[in-house]
Amino acid sequence: MLFHFALQSVRSRPRSWLVGLLAASMAALLTLGLSLVGSIYDGTRLSMIESGAGHLQVYNANSAEGPQMSLGPGGAPEMVPLPDYARTRELLLGVDGVRDVVPLEVGTGRVFRGNYLDEKLSAVRDVARAPVSAERDARLGRMADDLRRALERVARDSRRREEAFSQSAGSDEDTRALEQALTPSFWERFVAEPLPVLEFLENRVAKQVGEGESMYLDYVGTDLGGFAKAFGRFELVSGELPPRGTRGLLLGQAVYERSFKLPMAVRLDELKRERERGATFAGDERLGTLVERSLAEIPDLLSRLDVERATALRAALEAVLGQPGELEPLLEKFWALDDGNFDARFQAFYSTLAPHLPLYRVRPGDTLVLKGTLDNDPGVAVKVWGTYRFRGLGGDGSQANGASLLDLATVRHLSGRMTREQMEEAKQLLASVGMDAKAEAPSFDTFSPPQMLDAEPSAPTDEAPAPTFARASLPPTFDAADLEDGIFHAALVLTQDADPDAVAERIQQLAQAKGVPLATADWREVGGFVTGMVGMTQVLLVALGGMMGLFVLGVSAGTLLLLARERVGEVGTLRAVGMQRRDVFLGLMLEGLVLGLVGSLLGHGLGAALLWGLGSDGIAVRDEALQFFLGGAVLRPELAAWHAAVVGIGVTLVVLVATWIPAWRGSAVTPAVAMRLREMDG
């Protein structure tokens, strides 16, 4: 009877439908929000799992901190190596649901880029190492002339500095080396023995131009071949995988394009992306700013070009622009970009100009010198075998493609840890001098040479000194057995139907049974700031839901209070014919329940229809940075059964709370007061 009374009341009062419409709007927005946040959660989970984190990670339970795939300002977590990694790996592979185990160690290093004179010397060295021939000697002569002119510019700059500042004894030595490099006898020696002369210039003269620049490189130490096999989205973009047991580096395609590419080419790519998003030179001043920054870098580019590249680039520019001229004015004219010529200039840059430019500072097959993050860390030379990316997880702007892969032997050296053989040798050395080898674990720093704080200036000599950056001499190959006791954590790749929580429970049971200190962490625990981003979206959804709830609560309560005042006479009549206050209160609350239920159902249905209409074929995600958080280039939002339950219960509760005060006040009116108010209103 009360329910029938509530239905009749709702049908006869259209103004109460406003409460239902508010409930429907709230339900529709919450449905869309839940679906989006769920898609971000699932997409990020999938991206993290398939980009190296694995479904689970296992580490030593005695570690002070858990593993992290994305390091923060505090650096790498404090961890203890896994006990006997070979045995641990065998035990883990025997756990039901575990398909593969991949060793990991995350860190940050530094790589150095030389100044423009270093790059010129590198180009000359490549020619000097070629087999002797008439063509090689002719090229070497042209490049030597260009190099001599560059050294003359360095000498002029050095003289200006001498006039402005007082020089130390070390500077006097540098000046003598530079003066020697400008003598005719020096270049006669260059013709006969180019490589020793180039070494002298690298170590005694090039540093006078400046130390170049350094950049940080995030890396993941792992078994490169095993990593590529375990993660199906791994895709080799250029180069090749190093043979097993060979040291090497695979650069992430994103960091390769952003940090190792010619800066003006990076800006040209950015201009291309902005125009694809609809930006124009006429309407967006950011595009003009990018062009101005590239124009300002033309002198630096010219200083890095050898004579052969400069000549070829000038000819290419004359062909593209259709007019002769000097190289610098031609480059400035080429970079006078606008909406009319951009597409043609972009194509011409990569098809005609790029072959004559140092487009990348390093290419597969080259060697990089990696250092740790501390200034006194020794550098280690490592070969760049190629570049890679995770297919479908974004391009140059994706978090997934920003880290590089490095062999574990090189990682161990960068972190200052010794191999088993080096550790035994160090312990024997400590014991031979009467030191307790167990008091403190030896490291590379234990045997580092002391730093020279002060020294007498040495006499000038023609012999080349040691390189500017110390480099550790590591063999190109390593024995995997030496690394078995130094693995900090490992990623577990599970079978398709495995439940990560169940697998983690089985691993804990196995660890207790075997007496092995193992702990597990899922993608949320190792995600670092990525996990924080996902958590932030969930917090924002809760905040949005709370604000909408307060709005609906306030408007609904006000509307229902007005309606309750209009129904005072009706309530008085019902009370006069014998209806109890409790029944009146329940009847009014049932009206709110009907409005909340109907509104939430309609709103959820509307939200589901919108999602189906927008995402039946998937929603294309063009922003490469977002592709990581959405699990790929196509967003397919989904609705779960619990979404409907959460939306229905939440919206209905808000409407019921809004109904409570009007229902309480309306049911409290006595029949006499109700009749008097009705007469007054009449």
| Cβ neighbour number for residue 83 with a 10 Å cutoff | 15
Q: Is the pLDDT of residue 58 over 80?
A: yes
| Cβ neighbour number for residue 88 with a 10 Å cutoff | 21
pLDDT of residue 333: 94
Candidates 31, 49, 38; CA nearest to 524 is: 49
State whether residue 586 is helix, strand or coil: helix
What percentage of residues in the chain have a pLDDT greater than 70?
Answer: 79
Q: At what angle do helices 17-48 and 529-566 cross, to 10 degrees?
A: 170
| Confidence band, pLDDT 50/70/90 cuts, at residue 468 | very low
Q: How far apart are CA 228 and CA 79, in angstroms?
A: 25
User: What is the chain's mean pLDDT, rounded?
Assistant: 80
The whole-number average pLDDT for the span 457-470 is 38
pLDDT of residue 449: 42
**Within 13 Å and on the Cβ side, how many CA atoms surround 140?**
23
| Confidence band, pLDDT 50/70/90 cuts, at residue 269 | very high
Q: Is the pLDDT of residue 465 over 50?
A: no
Answer for the pair 252, 333: CB distance below 8 angstroms, yes or no.
Answer: no
Percentages of the chain per state (helix, strand, coil), in multiples of 5: 60, 10, 30
Q: Is the pLDDT of residue 675 over 80?
A: no
The whole-number average pLDDT for the span 252-264 is 90
pLDDT of residue 174: 73
| Confidence band, pLDDT 50/70/90 cuts, at residue 492 | very high
Q: How far apart are CA 516 and CA 536, in angstroms?
A: 36
Q: What's the pLDDT tens digit per position in 281-339?
A: 988 899 999 999 999 989 888 878 888 888 999 999 999 999 999 999 999 999 999 99
Q: How far apart are CA 146 and CA 306, in angstroms?
A: 7
- Pick the residue with more confidence: 486 or 625? 486
The whole-number average pLDDT for the span 543-560 is 79
The whole-number average pLDDT for the span 354-376 is 84
pLDDT of residue 460: 40
pLDDT of residue 98: 94
Pairing mode, strands 56-60 and 213-222: unpaired
Q: What's the pLDDT tens digit per position in 628-641?
A: 777 777 777 777 78
Answer for the pair 42, 446: CB distance below 8 angstroms, yes or no.
Answer: no
Look up residue 547 and give its DSSP letter.
H
Candidates 200, 195, 190, 202; CA nearest to 141 is: 190
| Confidence band, pLDDT 50/70/90 cuts, at residue 428 | low
Answer for the pair 107, 76: CB distance below 8 angstroms, yes or no.
Answer: yes
Task: Kindly provide the b/e burial profile for residues 376-397, where b requires at least 16 CB atoms within 10 angstroms of the residue's own CB.
Answer: ebbbbebbbbbbbbbebbbbbb
* Residues 6+ positions from 312 with CB-CB distance below 8 Å: 355, 356
Q: Is the pLDDT of residue 247 over 80?
A: yes
Q: How far apart are CA 576 and CA 597, in angstroms?
A: 31
Q: What's the pLDDT tens digit per position in 87-118?
A: 999 999 999 999 999 999 998 888 877 677 77
Q: Is the pLDDT of residue 651 over 80?
A: yes
Task: Kindly provide the b/e burial profile for residues 488-497, where b requires at least 16 CB atoms within 10 angstroms of the residue's own CB.
Answer: bbbbbbbeee
- Pick the residue with more confidence: 370 or 5? 370
pLDDT of residue 69: 84
Tokens 């929000």, residue? 33
Instruction: Report residue 559 as tokens.
Output: 């509307």
pLDDT of residue 453: 35
Answer for the pair 498, 95: CB distance below 8 angstroms, yes or no.
Answer: no
| Confidence band, pLDDT 50/70/90 cuts, at residue 135 | confident
Pairing mode, strands 619-620 and 213-222: unpaired
Distance in angstroms between the alpha carbons of the first and the last residue of the chain: 30
pLDDT of residue 505: 95
Q: What's the pLDDT tens digit per position in 143-173?
A: 888 888 888 887 877 777 666 555 554 467 7
Q: How far apart are CA 476 and CA 382, in angstroms?
A: 8
Q: How far apart are CA 529 and CA 533, in angstroms?
A: 6
Candidates 655, 643, 533; CA nearest to 593 is: 655
Per residue, the 3-state secondary structure of 119-182, as one string, reads HHHHHHHHHHCCCCCHHHHHHHHHHHHHHHHHHHHHHHHHHHHHHHCCCCHHHHHHHHHHHHHC
Q: How far apart are CA 105 and CA 222, in angstroms?
A: 7
- Pick the residue with more confidence: 584 or 419? 584
| Confidence band, pLDDT 50/70/90 cuts, at residue 222 | very high
Handedness of CA 508, 510, 515, 516 (dihedral sign): negative
- Pick the residue with more confidence: 588 or 254? 254
Phi and psi at 209, nearest 5°, equal -80, -20
Q: How many helices (H) and strands (E) does the chain have?
A: 26, 13
Q: Where does 235-363 have alpha helices with state H?
A: 253-259, 263-276, 285-296, 298-304, 307-321, 327-334, 342-348
What percentage of residues in the chain have a pLDDT greater than 90?
Answer: 25
Q: Is the pLDDT of residue 678 over 70?
A: no
Q: How far apart are CA 112 and CA 370, in angstroms?
A: 8
Burial (CB < 10 A; 0-12, 13-18, 19+), residue 322, is exposed
pLDDT of residue 645: 87
The whole-number average pLDDT for the span 536-548 is 81
pLDDT of residue 578: 61
Which of 288-297, 439-448, 610-619 ranks highest by mean pLDDT?
Answer: 288-297
pLDDT of residue 287: 92
Instruction: Report residue 22 as tokens.
Output: 């508010």
- Pick the residue with more confidence: 58 or 38? 58
- Pick the residue with more confidence: 394 or 610? 610
Please write down the long-range contacts of 500-506, taking CB distance under 8 Å and 24 or more positions apart: 500/55, 500/56, 502/97, 503/55, 503/56, 503/95, 503/96, 503/97, 503/98, 504/56, 506/95, 506/96, 506/97
What one-letter code names the amino acid at 407?
A: D
State whether residue 519 is helix, strand or coil: strand
Answer for the pair 279, 287: CB distance below 8 angstroms, yes or no.
Answer: yes
Please write down the long-range contacts of 150-155, taking CB distance under 8 Å and 24 or more positions apart: 150/116, 150/117, 150/120, 150/303, 151/178, 151/181, 151/182, 151/201, 151/205, 152/182, 154/117, 154/178, 154/205, 154/208, 154/209, 155/179, 155/182
Which of 72-81, 353-362, 602-611 ranks highest by mean pLDDT?
Answer: 353-362
Candidates 414, 73, 535; CA nearest to 404 is: 414
pLDDT of residue 283: 87
Q: What's the pLDDT tens digit per position in 111-126?
A: 877 677 777 787 888 8
Answer for the pair 511, 517: CB distance below 8 angstroms, yes or no.
Answer: yes
pLDDT of residue 430: 62
- Pick the residue with more confidence: 9 or 641? 641
Candidates 75, 84, 9, 147; CA nearest to 487 is: 84
Burial (CB < 10 A; 0-12, 13-18, 19+), residue 400, is buried
The whole-number average pLDDT for the span 51-77 is 86
- Pick the residue with more confidence: 484 or 651? 651
pLDDT of residue 510: 93
Q: Is the pLDDT of residue 434 over 50?
A: yes
Candidates 200, 275, 236, 584; CA nearest to 384 is: 236
